[in-house]
């Protein structure tokens, strides 16, 4: 019998971006070792103050490091909990060759590269891998013949195959279509579905007729869907009918809507939530603040309201569109909802730490959240709370996130098959013919 060689152990060098993406990243490397350059620890120190998610991640990681070191010198190799791996903080960031000289700059990125070079020289029996969410740093590492990888935990492997929430079934018999119209339901096996996904939507079609339906996990039937309006917003295509059904079904506590600009994600979520306002104490419409040019809003002139208005304006645009469906007197009722805080439009950071009981909570632009942020929001849900995430996974405005690693993609990929969850990918733009032209051709 051939003698097997043990798997080569690795040392992973972590960049600051990995920690700010997931404060628990240190636990993600199996039984391998993890090295943290001292410059990363110093950089985390600059992030620890503030209310943004990156500030929270920095603080939590520092607490983890403090607990695990347990009064040991952090430049020793210290055992990582729940694994056979170890971690250390590298104090000496000099190496040969010297990345700071090669790239003519003493910036933190180049000091991190020096740590990877140094560990490679000192540990010939191990593979040293730099892990970073910063693609430019990974390219610089590769130019120096340093192994470099993205942080893979939480990444969706096949974005193109991401769950869409709907299926087109063609070639059905006239009898099946007629029975669904007349009786309102059929069995999944009658349309060729053996193991249906809860709250999955269907376009059922033959050469003459079609019907919209969904799988009801409570009854076990494929049930006919009726086109319904919400706050005078009427669905214009099948996907919008599906989306509004998911939003307005109280038993479905978690909804995700994914689609390009102009498909009606936020408008449908807001209209559906307002239609059900009697079911909830408040309707929250929130979005993460992604500062322009990645500058903190503190650099912008004016008070906090004037600073935040540009980020919240798209949400108010949807509210104005709904108001325009009513007379001036009727539309004033929406202003009254805002005045009484029955409807609250706010930056996402402003609801951190608040209770989410008896609330319909809409999170817009969810593709700009990390998987950990999405999990944090959902775990705060109390009794009678519904959460709706909307976004376009291909339009990322946050550094270090992409279509595979953002929180919306992660959520869609991980949580399907649950009875209280529904998802729809909206594909047809309904904003205007001009907007559709841009989406299709530009």
Cβ-contact 166, 196 below 8 angstroms: no
Residues 95, 100, 106, 111, CA torsion sign: negative
* pLDDT(30) > 80: yes
Cβ-contact 367, 393 below 8 angstroms: yes
Q: How confident is the model at residue 399 (pLDDT cuts 50, 70, 90)?
A: confident
- Give the chain's mean pLDDT: 89
What pLDDT is attached to residue 300? 47
Task: Report strand pairing: 282-287 vs 359-363.
Answer: parallel
pLDDT (tens digit, 9 = 90+) per residue, 316-361?
A: 888 888 988 888 887 888 888 888 889 988 888 777 667 789 999 9
What pLDDT is attached to residue 5? 46
The domains found in the chain, sorted by start residue, are 10-149 (3.40.50.1010), 236-441 (3.40.50.300)
CA distance 341 to 285: 11
How crowded is residue 144: how many other Cβ atoms within 10 Å of its Cβ? 19
Task: Report strand pairing: 166-169 vs 201-205.
Answer: parallel
What pLDDT is attached to residue 26? 94
DSSP letter at 368?
Answer: G
Task: Taking residues 207-236, report their average pLDDT.
Answer: 94
Cβ-contact 425, 258 below 8 angstroms: yes
Q: Which long-range contacts link 307-314 to residues 24+ away (Cβ below 8 Å)?
A: 308/347, 311/287, 311/347, 312/287, 312/345, 312/346, 312/347, 314/266, 314/287, 314/364
Identify which of 32, 47, 7, 9 has the alpha carbon closest to the alpha carbon of residue 18.
47
CA distance 345 to 350: 10
Task: Taking residues 113-142, report their average pLDDT.
Answer: 96
What pLDDT is attached to residue 293? 38
Residues 138, 52, 359, 392, CA torsion sign: negative
Identify which of 115, 80, 109, 77 has the alpha carbon closest to the alpha carbon of residue 96.
115
Q: What is the pTM of this model?
A: 0.86
What pLDDT is attached to residue 302? 52
pLDDT (tens digit, 9 = 90+) per residue, 312-327?
A: 788 888 888 898 888 8
* pLDDT(271) > 80: yes
What pLDDT is attached to residue 184? 96
* pLDDT(292) > 50: no
What pLDDT is attached to residue 36? 97
Name the H helices within 144-259.
Answer: 174-183, 238-247
* pLDDT(389) > 90: yes
CA distance 155 to 313: 31
CA distance 427 to 206: 22
């Amino acid at each position: 019998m051939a003698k097997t060689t043990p798997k080569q152990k690795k040392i992973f060098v972590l960049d600051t971006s990995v920690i700010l993406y997931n404060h628990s990243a240190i636990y993600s490397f199996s039984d391998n070792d993890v090295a943290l350059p001292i410059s990363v620890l110093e950089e985390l120190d600059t992030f620890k103050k503030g209310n943004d998610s990156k500030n929270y991640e920095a603080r939590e990681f520092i607490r983890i490091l403090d607990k695990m070191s347990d009064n040991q010198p952090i430049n020793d190799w210290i055992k990582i909990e729940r694994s056979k791996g170890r971690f250390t903080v590298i104090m000496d960031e000099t190496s040969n060759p010297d990345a700071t000289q090669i790239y003519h700059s003493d910036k933190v990125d180049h000091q991190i590269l020096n740590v990877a070079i140094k560990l490679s020289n000192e540990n010939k029996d191990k593979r040293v891998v730099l892990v970073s969410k910063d693609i430019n740093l990974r390219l610089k590492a590769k130019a120096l013949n340093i192994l470099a990888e993205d942080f893979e935990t939480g990444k969706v492997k096949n974005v193109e195959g991401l769950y869409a929430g709907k299926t087109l079934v063609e070639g059905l018999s006239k009898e099946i279509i007629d029975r669904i119209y007349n009786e309102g339901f059929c069995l999944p096996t009658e349309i060729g579905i053996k193991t249906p996904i809860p709250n999955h939507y269907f376009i059922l079609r033959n050469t003459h007729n079609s019907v919209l339906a969904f799988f009801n996990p409570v009854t076990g039937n494929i049930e006919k869907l009726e086109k319904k309006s919400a706050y005078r917003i009427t669905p214009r295509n099948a996907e919008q009918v599906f989306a509004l059904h998911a939003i307005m079904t109280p038993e479905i506590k978690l909804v995700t809507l994914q689609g390009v600009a102009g498909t009606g994600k936020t408008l449908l979520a807001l209209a559906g939530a307002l239609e059900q306002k009697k079911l909830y104490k408040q309707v929250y419409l929130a979005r993460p603040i992604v500062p322009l040019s990645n500058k903190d809003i503190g650099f912008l002139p004016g008070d906090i309201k004037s600073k935040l208005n540009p980020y919240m304006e798209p949400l108010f645009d949807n509210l104005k569109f709904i108001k325009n469906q009513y007379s001036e007197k009727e539309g004033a009722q929406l202003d009254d909802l805002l005045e009484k805080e029955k409807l609250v439009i706010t930056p996402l950071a402003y609801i951190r730490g608040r209770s989410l009981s008896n609330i319909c909570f809409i999170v817009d632009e969810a593709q700009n959240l990390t998987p950990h942020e999405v999990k944090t929001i959902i775990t705060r849900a109390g009794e009678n709370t519904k959460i709706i995430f909307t976004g376009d996974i291909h339009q990322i405005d946050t550094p270090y996130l992409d279509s595979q690693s953002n929180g919306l993609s992660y959520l869609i990929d991980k949580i399907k098959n649950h009875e209280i969850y529904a998802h729809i990918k909206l594909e047809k733009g309904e904003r205007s013919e001009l907007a559709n032209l841009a989406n299709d051709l530009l």
